[in-house]
Chains A and B, each alone.
Chain A
Amino acid sequence: EVQLVESGGGLVKPGGSLRLSCAASGFTFGGYNMNWVRQAPGKGLEFVSSISSSSSDIYYADSVKGRFTISRDNAKSTLFLQMNSLRVEDTAVYYCARERYTGYDYWGQGTLVTVS
């Protein structure tokens, strides 16, 4: 069974940092591109960042470019998101999602990041 479990969210002050993790199981993690997608309270889905299976290709939303860094450890089947210089508008539930079929076929349960 495919599972994606995010952790690392919490309350942080503006300007602070957090590191999110997404532990994957039930599939060959190193064979898939992975993404972070966020959802602000009561709002829609917003792409944050993507990383290819080998980490050779990385993309960021303009809203987080220069502040967030995506990475992965295929040996440990874990995806990361280092978030620096956090802003109030970064408050959201952050989901990790597996990229497949030109979309996202599995999502984690999400981890809440509150910047206040």
Chain B
Amino acid sequence: QSVLTQPPSVSAAPGQKVTISCSGSSSNIGNNYISWYQQLPGTAPKLLIYENNKRPSGIPDRFSGSKSGTSATLGITGLQTGDEADYYCGTWDNSLSAVFGGGTKLTVL
């Protein structure tokens, strides 16, 4: 059972938009920045979003992040087949350990 709650799967057609939610509590998301990671099949996770809504260099602006209270959302617009992956939210909790969501599998139909 993961500390942060994500939907197991989402799907949308190419070119469409999808959002992935991440729910936590005041001891984690509520008092810390959130990050989002993309894990393509058979590869290591890759940082997509940090500090709630910032993108590292090289991440296209099709990816966006937001946070409100104890929840966060990852948005992906202009979906491409190459976006099919598992997406994880992550943050820190009051014990100074990292916590993650259970992951959301994105299918581009």
**Measuring CB to CB, which residues of chain A are less than 8 angstroms from any residue of chain B?**
35, 37, 44-47, 50, 57, 59-61, 95, 97, 100-110
Contact = CB atoms under 8 A, between A and B. Distances in A.
Contact of A47 (B44, B47, B98): B98
Nearest to B92: A102
Interface of B: 2, 32-33, 35, 37, 43-47, 50-51, 54, 56, 88, 90-92, 95-103
Contacts of B45: 45, 95, 97, 104, 107
Residues of A contacting B: mostly: strand
B46 A107 contact: yes
B90 A50 contact: no
A59 B97 contact: yes
Contacts of B32: 102
Given A107-B44, A109-B44, A110-B44, A102 B97 contact: no
